[in-house]
Structure 1
Amino acid sequence: MTEQHEEPTEDSQEESEKAQDEEADGEDLDRIEPVDLSRFYESAFNPLKDHFKQQNSQLAGIISNAARVRAQWAVPRIAIPVPLGVGAAVETLRKQMADLTGFNDAIRQALEPYTAFQAERWQRLFSSMAEAVRSIYPENLRELAPGLDEMETLLVDEGIPLMWVPAPRTVQALLEAPDAATRRRLIGRRWKGITNDCEAVLEGVEHPALQDARGFALDVVDALRGGHTNAAQALAANLLDSLLRGHVTETLRVQLTRNDFKAKGIKFKLDDYKFKVACTFAPVWYAHAKYFPAKGDAIPRTFGRHPSAHGVSKLQYSRINAIYALMLVTSVIKFFDTEMPR
């Protein structure tokens, strides 16, 4: 993982003190409920209860009758002495009784409608469950449905946004890339397509409270296309900060952006948050790596909110970092658009 840097003292100390006794206006993301599948399970299983009861009763009858017939015609496993001269007749009868293939076929045929029906029902049930699980993913991840283990390196260790943007083909390429350097080059090569992806998602943002942010994010798109990458990165970095201050509580904002990796080796823990919160804000956490220019910290090459504000330089400002910043604000805006009450 790229080395993390500390934020200027005046920012971090002030935020830490405020976090103890103040809250900004906005949404507490911990109150946003995850997808509730309990009703889905109930609606899926309840219609089957009576059918299962009836079918199980019929099956029990079939098995019970089969057991009685089998007991009547069972062939002893011990030798039975027979009078001389009737051995051949007894052996013929024994073979006839032992040949229960027809009986077994009858049982199988009797069970076929039951097993076929259940297989069809279970297939529909599992398909519905799979669809419900996939629904927690944004549109660009729905068909790929990557697990957290697959995404963790990209989200937490490299700060690559994956929620809502980029498009599925780019996400797949990023997941299949062998290392961080390859992924960063891939984003750099596909910057035009990723910019288009961000624009498409931003155009679909409908919440009234997000229209100003949407407009500024589209300004970032225009700046990038016009070759004004420095302006695009600066606007996106400040827009990200404004979004967090405007739509989450102060305490939660500090929690989501407290990047102590350099000092304490503590990473953002995806399991501590609901799925969409974790995957949206892990790259935001990465972008808030602490950076103290007064302590002589080197300006990082990867995008960061603090070096964008306090370390303006050709090292920090670049087209690829502007793309990272645009992806971040697009992802965060769309998250709020889907979760904030109308």
Structure 2
Amino acid sequence: MAEDRESGEFKDAGQTEPVDISGFYEMALKPFQEYVRNQNAQIGKMLAESAAVRFGPVLPRIVVNSPLIQMNAMAETFRRQMADLTGFNDMVRQAVKPLAEAYRPPQWHSVFGSLGDIINRLYPENLRHDIPDPDDLEKLLVEEGIPLMWVPGPQTVRALLDATDAIARRRIIGRRWKGIASDCEAVLEEVEHRDVQDARSFALEAARALRAGHASAAQALSANLLDSLLQRHFDQAVRIQLTTNDFKTKGIKFKLEDHKFKVACTFAPVWYAHAKYYPKNGDPIPRSFGRHASAHGVSRTQYSRINAVYALMLVTSVIKFFDTELPK
């Protein structure tokens, strides 16, 4: 039995009367192609990498040969075949057979399994269930300086993505400070690379200080530990590239697309935290966490529990980055 796409009724597949299939592509294949095209565009944008940032041994580039690209080509071939047909006859059934074979459940499982592998390689566990789109990434990482790599936990990530604006997101971080401190401790406990063990210990001290009510101590330690990590693991050229924040004076933002994916997502908030602050020029002390303000603008304006949380998240994500990316 074959379904009549227009009426929703079923007819005998052996009938000789031609069936008009002029709308088949628009109804069935075109939406599928649009889905494939959108997925390819999304993956391509998210995997955009650059050779601009190099540190130590060059990190391996991630090469993606998405099965969706192959599926898109197959769908286009099928569309061309269908365009020449006038009836749902044996010729059509022969054309459909290869496509049906290609899209059997095992094949689909393979496709989405491959996408899952890509996601697992790119995204830390806290982002795999609620993957931010590029606009959200730029907004939270670059415009607001919120660390998202490895910390905070997935529930807080979801709350941040659902929040209406920057003020609401900052309040969420302030309300959830205990849970976020626990998220940081859990990630730090898993750090294994020998070259970041000392940093891991100091970051855990900062987390314990925060939990014990010593927010200023936690912020100061996290801010200085961040600087020490950058000094130790990046050469001067890379440090300058990742921390030169001229947005206030030149309007130049950190460009995610200029860097490898994990580098971009980890260090965009680092760039944000390095906003220029010169007391000698009469710059007002910023209320948001800043590396320079933490060092040169010690005050109740800069030092606060919420800024200590930002600093701890930031240094935790940087330590975990080095834990996963430094040569073993």
- For normalisation by structure 2, the TM-score amounts to 0.74
Taking the aligned partners of 1:160 and 1:234, their CA distance within structure 2 comes to 18
Q: 1:217 aligns with which of 189, 193, 203?
A: 203
Taking the aligned partners of 2:187 and 2:288, their CA distance within structure 1 comes to 24
How far is 1:197 from its partner?
A: 0.5
How far is 1:147 from its partner?
A: 2.1
Residues 242-321 of structure 1: pairs in structure 2 closer than 5 A: 242-321=228-307
* Residues 1:148 and 2:134 aligned together: yes
RMSD (Å), alpha carbons = 2.7
| Counterpart position of 2:311 | 325
Larger Rg: 1
Q: 2:116 aligns with which of 131, 141, 162?
A: 131
Contact kept, 8 Å, 2:57 with 2:327, in 1: the verdict is: no
Q: 1:199 aligns with which of 185, 204, 210?
A: 185
Residue by residue over 1:91-135, the C-alpha shift from the partner in whole angstroms, topping out at 9 and shown as x without a partner, is: xxxxxxxxx99xx55556656653331112652343134213312
Contact kept, 8 Å, 1:257 with 1:284, in 2: the verdict is: yes
More helix by proportion, 1 or 2? Answer: 1
- What number of residue pairs does the alignment pair up? 263
Residue by residue over 1:30-88, the C-alpha shift from the partner in whole angstroms, topping out at 9 and shown as x without a partner, is: 932332225x76xx98xxxxxx9xxx9xx9xxx9xxx9xx9xxxxxxxxxxxxxxxxxx
Taking the aligned partners of 1:264 and 1:111, their CA distance within structure 2 comes to 59
Taking the aligned partners of 2:94 and 2:143, their CA distance within structure 1 comes to 58
Give the aligned residue type for 1:114: P
* Residues 1:35 and 2:35 aligned together: no
Taking the aligned partners of 2:247 and 2:93, their CA distance within structure 1 comes to 65
Give the aligned residue type for 2:128: R
Could you list the runs of 5+ residues in structure 2 that have no partner in the other structure? 1-53
Contact kept, 8 Å, 1:288 with 1:304, in 2: the verdict is: yes
Residue by residue over 1:281-324, the C-alpha shift from the partner in whole angstroms, topping out at 9 and shown as x without a partner, is: 00000000111101111111000001101010111000000000
Give the aligned residue type for 2:101: F
Residue by residue over 1:193-241, the C-alpha shift from the partner in whole angstroms, topping out at 9 and shown as x without a partner, is: 1011100100000001110000000001110111001100000000000
Contact kept, 8 Å, 1:30 with 1:273, in 2: the verdict is: no
Specify whether residues 219 and 332 from structure 1 end up closer, same or farther in structure 2 by C-alpha distance, changes over 3 A only.
same
Contact kept, 8 Å, 1:29 with 1:277, in 2: the verdict is: no
| Counterpart position of 1:338 | 324
| Counterpart position of 1:119 | 103
